[in-house]
Structure 1
């Protein structure tokens, strides 16, 4: 795919990108796709998927108590537990505001670890990374932001999410469905959104503007971006997913470059 070469124009030392179809077919790749990059918050979809495996195994329930009083596993996955961004401090009642929270995902990781009696990073390796052949990916540290991976591995994950083998497709459909519809909140880097739609560990594009995906991305597009200069989106209407990793922190360069890149990828696919 010629559009992937646009990453060469990004003002970053290193970048890699790839596009994969729902059936797992790699449509194109560019750059060092085996290079390991810090994922920052692109860690969250991987952690969420591991938590959903724990749910299907019966170790946890989505609506069981977890986190602050009144909060559940579902609240933690959907950033509506009321926990602050990076502090284990309650700032709102569960279900009332979309408070994007690293602390919430750390509580989630601890909850899964306690329920399974396995450290979360090891559980994620056994439940998700190893079965998908994601041998270059680690989730040591915070399940909110400390993952390290490659484009090659994220393509494997994106193929799984589009055509699930590790989870019941109905569970994945739930993960990409808006939780606590109409909830307002801040999308990091893009300001206040009303509503700020989110699924179970995946952000949902809907009608958000501005946004890190493209203007031609479907409203059903879901995924995540990371402050380390990373993103993964899955567009069910286009039937493809795209992973792009770079080693420059998110900033104005990404706000300008990423949407144009995504629009070019989608335009090439339509030709």
Structure 2
């Protein structure tokens, strides 16, 4: 592993050799792991859907559907890739403000979709830091940069740095780190619990990742049109006051997460102290635009009692 560990005072793990100093993250299924709101997935026009809700203390308070079935994640791959990049940062392999991607861009720019790279092409559409251009190409260049810095293929690095410590044995990140991940709800609730109570990263690093980078930038939110501002942290979309949006009208502005074009999403709402994961096998479209906010509002209402 390149570098010497760093930064925010948290423990540094050795990913490449030397063992793993962080205990595997565990989640506990509540004896009352049934939330009526999750049954709304049965009304979705999809062949298969699975969902779960996990609290910040790691207790799963509700599940529905085939939670052990693997689903393509599409862009829900990005938060996992971003978390691996943040592990590399804490280990000293990379710096957030070191050059990466197109000229003038940094690791931070790539994570926050402000590198200027186009959506799905490795070409520059704007100077870094001037526009929020959601970019698969940016995450692919991020993966290449981490692989070069760590001397480990990115998918393997992510496995060692994130998936294995979290016990996500049914998850793989082969292919593009922007969109080619495969996982299960059972695995993703482990990641959702980690986001709420970090063990792999210093909590201050996670807080920084959920804080708006380059505030005020407008941009397109795929499927929902232009948002002003279109706020993102380091690999995670931040809800703020966006409308329309894939979360609910009752979701707090602090809600963060990601959705994918394969009909998948993961959100964390710090105001309600819980996270929700839903995976399907039907592509995102009008059905999701209509169904997901209603579903999320029902989940939030049930959590609030």
- TM-score of the superposed pair, with normalisation by structure 1: 1.00
Residue 110 (structure 1) aligned to one of 136, 141, 144: 144
Partner of 1:180: 214
Residue 35 (structure 1) aligned to one of 47, 62, 69: 69
Is the partner of 1:192 in helix, strand or coil?
Answer: strand
Is 1:171 the counterpart of 2:215 in the alignment?
A: no
Is 1:189 the counterpart of 2:223 in the alignment?
A: yes
Is 1:216 the counterpart of 2:250 in the alignment?
A: yes
Is the partner of 2:171 in helix, strand or coil?
Answer: coil
After superposition, the C-alpha distances for 1:58-116 in whole angstroms (9 at most, x for unaligned) are: 00000000001110000000000000000000000000000000000000000000000
Larger Rg: 2
Partner of 1:137: 171
**Unaligned 5+ residue runs, structure 1?**
none
Where does 1:1-271 land on structure 2 (aligned, <5 Å)? 1-271=35-305
- Segments of 4+ moved more than 6 angstroms: none
* Deviation, structure 1 residue 243: 0.2
* Deviation, structure 1 residue 221: 0.1
After superposition, the C-alpha distances for 1:167-206 in whole angstroms (9 at most, x for unaligned) are: 0000000000000000110000000001000000000000
After superposition, the C-alpha distances for 1:106-136 in whole angstroms (9 at most, x for unaligned) are: 0000000000000000000000000000000
Q: Aligned partners of 1:260, 1:92: CA distance in 2, in Å?
A: 36
Q: Aligned partners of 2:41, 2:271: CA distance in 1, in Å?
A: 24
Is the partner of 2:272 in helix, strand or coil?
Answer: coil
What is the root-mean-square deviation of aligned Cα atoms in Å?
0.3
Is the partner of 1:170 in helix, strand or coil?
Answer: helix
**Unaligned 5+ residue runs, structure 2?**
1-34
* Deviation, structure 1 residue 270: 1.3
